[in-house]
Structure 1
Amino acid sequence: AQRLEMRNFDVKTALDGDEALGLIRESDVDVIVLDVLMPGKDGIQTLKEIKELKPLITVIMLTGNATVNTAIEGMKLGAYDYLMKPTETESLVEKIMSAHKIKAEHEERIRQAEIKDLLKRRGW
């Protein structure tokens, strides 16, 4: 978190999945870096709940012992990518920037579709 704050990212931290879900409910979040192994519910279950709450949030999974099955399950549930710990700060920053761009593009497409639908309903 500190490494990202030093690069002017607005960072919120959570100690476990439930705390992370609480932060997501209370504030706008663009990208989540989520550890697979956490106290309480694991990262996979937390990812599933994040995607149910706010499907457009991009989630980067971080793990020290990724298995192929865990990675596949995470990707099926909507993880943007997996990074192995320890990860270089620059690699993490690049992934976060890329994930943020993807989220912004999705949001823009949704806005454009909503505008198009509104204009269509008004007969324009």
Structure 2
Amino acid sequence: MTEDELTRVLLVDDEHDFLQTLSERLKMRGLRVDIALGGEQALQKLSSELFQVIIVDLSMPGMDGLETTQRIKEMNPSLEVIILTGHGTVRSGVDAMKIGVSDFIEKPVEINNLLEKVRIARDRFAKSQSEKTRTVLTGIATRQGW
């Protein structure tokens, strides 16, 4: 199984047709993809399922992409979030980076560019998890006197 086939991605957008199309395109390239229609549904899925990379639309009714990202980061700071938007501004890009997004990409996105951003985010997530595991194991070994 390739790394791409192990990569779990959650797509978050309020446009169902866009979600379906992008989901299929990413699945065809080997990623394991789930979708959420908006921020609330994304948070529900994140509370019960494991993902490495979350791709969030910036402009959604109700909970927008920035609020969704902020809540995701509160749940798990090591999750990698990519903001995807058709209405990006420098200000929204700066705000997104301040709350810890991995990347900020404008629609329409070229699929190979998005795949590369997902792979970079996945690798960053894996490194973060590895560092956490090493820290925990070091703490256990120290307490046990090993």
Query: TM over 0.5, yes or no?
Result: yes
Q: Which residue matches 1:123?
A: 145
TM-fit CA distance, 1:59: 0.2
TM-fit CA distance, 1:66: 1.0
Using structure 1 for the length normalisation, give the TM-score.
0.97
The residue type paired with residue 89 of structure 2 is: T
Q: Which residue matches 2:19?
A: none
The residue type paired with residue 3 of structure 1 is: R
Q: Which runs of 5+ in 2 are unaligned?
A: 1-22
Secondary structure, aligned partner of 1:11: strand
Aligned equivalent of 2:34, options 3, 7, 12: 12
In 1, distance between residues paired with 2:54 and 2:139? 31
The residue type paired with residue 103 of structure 1 is: F
TM-fit CA distance, 1:39: 2.4
Greater strand share, 1 or 2? 2
Q: Which residue matches 1:51?
A: 73
The residue type paired with residue 102 of structure 1 is: R
User: Aligned Cα RMSD in Å?
Assistant: 0.7
The residue type paired with residue 53 of structure 1 is: M
After superposition, give the CA deviation of every residue in 1:50-91 in whole Å (9 maximum; x if it has no partner): 000111110000011211111111111110010110000000
Q: Alignment identity in percent?
A: 36
The residue type paired with residue 83 of structure 2 is: M
Q: Which runs of 5+ in 1 are unaligned?
A: none
Q: Which residue matches 1:84?
A: 106
Q: Which residue matches 2:58?
A: 36
- Contact kept, 8 Å, 2:53 with 2:82, in 1: the verdict is yes
- 2:115 corresponds to 1:109: no
Secondary structure, aligned partner of 2:34: coil
In 1, distance between residues paired with 2:100 and 2:111? 23
Using structure 2 for the length normalisation, give the TM-score.
0.83
Q: Which residue matches 2:8?
A: none
